[in-house]
Amino acid sequence: MQGLRKTSLPLLASLLIGWSAGPARAQTPPLDESDVHVVRAGDAFTVDVEMHPPVPPRQAWAVLTDFEHMARFVPNLSASEVLERDGNHLKIKQTGAAHYAVFSLNFDSIREVQLDPFRQILVHGIGGNVKKMESATVLEPESGGTHLHYHAEVTPQTPLPPLVGPAAVRQQTAAQFNAMIEEMLRRQQGSN
């Protein structure tokens, strides 16, 4: 977890199994697949993403930590619940069905989440169908919005095929974050 203190987001275990990108968007999404940097080492993946949603850090934080409602706006996530909450330490459970090309898998994950409000989200997988899950998301204010850096180290329980794995992770990570950024923008427009 040492190298993760500078970066986080809670759903990568699910992403590594693969999200469906969902319905076509009328406009260009804010995050392109080429913005997602994936390195594979055996069955493990390291993922890094830099994003710049045009919303204040508190608005970005509200979406990134809305575990009770996340299934409403994240593709293929069918349930998301907070099992325990002790101040800024949470235990969450998420389930869904993941799809990529001809592959389809059900997923479940249980994760410990440590919140450093409006600055950082640290995640540690403790159960479900992932061998290892460590992630960090860092939020920093910038002109016109928030700079987000996401870093994750994940080893799925079911290895992804060599030619499909990195492409699936890249595509599905972009789809997940685009859905979250869209929700950030939707909420910001609703508050204006």
Q: Per-domain residue ranges for the chain?
A: 2-191
Ranges of residues in the chain whose predicted pLDDT is under 70: 1-29, 98-105, 163, 192
Residue (of 132, 127, 107, 79) closest to 18 by Cα position: 107
State the pLDDT at residue 52. 94
Q: What burial class does residue 112 get, using C-beta atoms within 10 Å of its C-beta: 0-12 exposed, 13-18 middle, 19+ buried?
A: middle
Does the domain at 2-191 match CATH 3.30.530.20? Answer given as yes
State the pLDDT at residue 28. 56
State the pLDDT at residue 84. 98
State the pLDDT at residue 179. 94
State the pLDDT at residue 170. 87
State the pLDDT at residue 27. 53
State the pLDDT at residue 99. 66
Q: How far apart are CA 77 and CA 98, in angstroms?
A: 8
pTM score, whole prediction = 0.82
State the pLDDT at residue 38. 94
CA dihedral 32, 20, 99, 155 (to 10 degrees): 40
Q: How far apart are CA 36 and CA 23, in angstroms?
A: 20
Q: How far apart are CA 161 and CA 179, in angstroms?
A: 26
Is-contact 154 45, C-beta < 8 A? yes
